[in-house]
Amino acid sequence: MNNIILIEFIVYFIVMIGVGYYTSRTKMSHSIFLLGGKKLPGWALAFSERATGESAWLLLGFTGFVFTTGLSGIWVAIGIAFGIIFSWIFLAKKFMNETDKHGVLTLPDYLAVNYREKANLIRWVASILIAGFFMFYVGAQLAGAGKLFITSFNMNETVGIVLATVVVLGIAFFGGFISVVWTDMLQSIMMLITLCVLPVIALIYVFTNDLSISQSLVSAGDSFNSWFGGTTGFALGILFFNNFSWFFGYLGGQPQLTARFMALKNETEAKQARNVAISWTVLAYIGAFLIGLAAIAMYSQGTFVDVETILPQMILDLMPPWIAGLLLAGILAAIITTANSQLMVLTSAVSEDIIHKALGMRLTDSQLLLVSRITILVSGVIGMVIALTSESLVYLIVSWAWAGVGGTLSPAILMTFFWKRYSSTGVIATILSGFVFTVLWISTPLDSIITSKFSTFFIAAFFGILFSLMFPDKKNKKTAV
């Protein structure tokens, strides 16, 4: 069985690197390498955005979360779905238009050109924030690859992480953003197939073997069969906000997602992309939630040493080898596509925001392109080292990065879009307070009471508003620098 699956994985690796190399043959400039040069169709960007946004955490982390919480896990899916729908309906075209207006390539640079009084300082603090959290984010994806290889082949986790790193670096290094988007598109389809096919097969297995999801929820634990986790009053509010809080990270502050909005060509493409992205989200999260519920009926609590291996184990238990290989490749696709996109964000932060803009180094376009590719290699290796040395769960690492970056930059973006009195000092206060309070929050028992994904957003927004009122710019948002 493992030989068949292994062959399919090898073919998958070859195809992904091949697609990355083929699409890299576009005449490359620094701007095309980082943001595609407005050459990509909306539907491809939508598939890429969805694959990038969900990653290993949806297939491994969320399914395991539902397995350990039961029905109340639905609020995570609802919070995320609302956030995705909101961002595509209200923010995507705004990002597209603002990118065209200012000619920017990155999220930090967009903030900087709107607040020129402290433009370089904004670039520095935003880039350091992104690079610091995203390095761990990349490591989380590669750690997810290691778990997949352990479950599928009983392979040494180190070997799995190294193999995934090689594929990630190969795709991103060749063609940058264009290669990443086209490989994302294929991988997004693979992810969706896995999330739509597996729950159907699992539910058929449950019903044909006289298993009962409802009875299994009761026997799994006191709170499993309650949509609100058996809580009432204040505890109910805490549960709701902790699970729903993923919503706040989707409000413009995730640079790997907003890059897809910025790359949109026109309103027609934006509408097409919006419809594709929303449809993908609904299908994927329904599927992932049903997989978690079916797992509760199929496996006893305590069966798994690591609950984030439930989905690959279910595939191996239910599917013939050749289908199992395809569906397992869907999990690997989620890992590869997100790690690629995060590497591109790290690269743009270093080459465009720091070296090109903040330091003002006079490099030719080809030299900037070389810097970007070197940054990809270095960042990938550091992410691999983090994956090899960290024992943190995929779900937790992604959750913290979601707060530190999304919860911090989302209020900065929203106030830039919609509040004229937001100032350059307010932007810096938003970013610094979001970073500091995320680190402090996750280092204390507070995070187990109210998640940092919720608290960071409002703390960062509060300090942004306070410092904007205390230290207004002499002139509000003006021309680019």
Please spell the DSSP secondary structure of 377-446, one letter per residue.
Answer: HHHHHHHHHHHHH----HHHHHHHHIIIIIHHHHHHHHHHHH-TT--HHHHHHHHHHHHHHHHHHHTSTH
| Cβ proximity of 273 and 92 under 8 Å | yes
- Residue in 118, 55, 112 with CA at minimum distance from that of residue 472: 118
Winning range, highest mean pLDDT, from 16-25, 78-87, 141-150, 343-352: 78-87
pTM greater than 0.75 (yes/no): yes
**Mean pLDDT in residue range 266-286:** 95
**Mean pLDDT in residue range 397-407:** 77
Compare 399 and 145 and report the one with higher pLDDT. Answer: 145
How far apart CA 428 and CA 408 sit, in angstroms, is 11
Compare 447 and 107 and report the one with higher pLDDT. Answer: 107
pLDDT over threshold 50, residue 415: yes
Helices (H) and strands (E) in the chain, counts: 21, 0
| Cβ proximity of 438 and 279 under 8 Å | no
- Residue in 365, 433, 435, 382 with CA at minimum distance from that of residue 33: 365
Tell me what the pLDDT averaged over the chain comes to: 84
Per-residue confidence (pLDDT) for residue 268, from 0 to 100: 94
Q: How far is CA 61 from CA 210, 249, 256, 310, in A?
A: 28, 17, 19, 9
How far apart CA 453 and CA 372 sit, in angstroms, is 30
Per-residue confidence (pLDDT) for residue 462, from 0 to 100: 96
pLDDT over threshold 90, residue 466: yes
Instruction: Quick: pLDDT tens for 283-311.
Output: 999 999 999 999 999 998 878 877 877 88
Task: Could you please state the CATH topology (level 3) that the domain comprising 2-394 is classified under.
Answer: Sodium/glucose cotransporter (1.20.1730)
Q: Model confidence at 480, in pLDDT bands (50, 70, 90)?
A: very low
Per-residue confidence (pLDDT) for residue 175, from 0 to 100: 67
Q: Model confidence at 179, in pLDDT bands (50, 70, 90)?
A: confident
Structure tokens at 189: 């389809």
pLDDT over threshold 90, residue 374: no
Compare 153 and 184 and report the one with higher pLDDT. Answer: 184
Per-residue confidence (pLDDT) for residue 468, from 0 to 100: 95
How far apart CA 190 and CA 332 sit, in angstroms, is 9
Residue type, position 336, single letter: I
Q: Model confidence at 396, in pLDDT bands (50, 70, 90)?
A: low
How far apart CA 314 and CA 64 sit, in angstroms, is 12
Per-residue confidence (pLDDT) for residue 162, from 0 to 100: 84
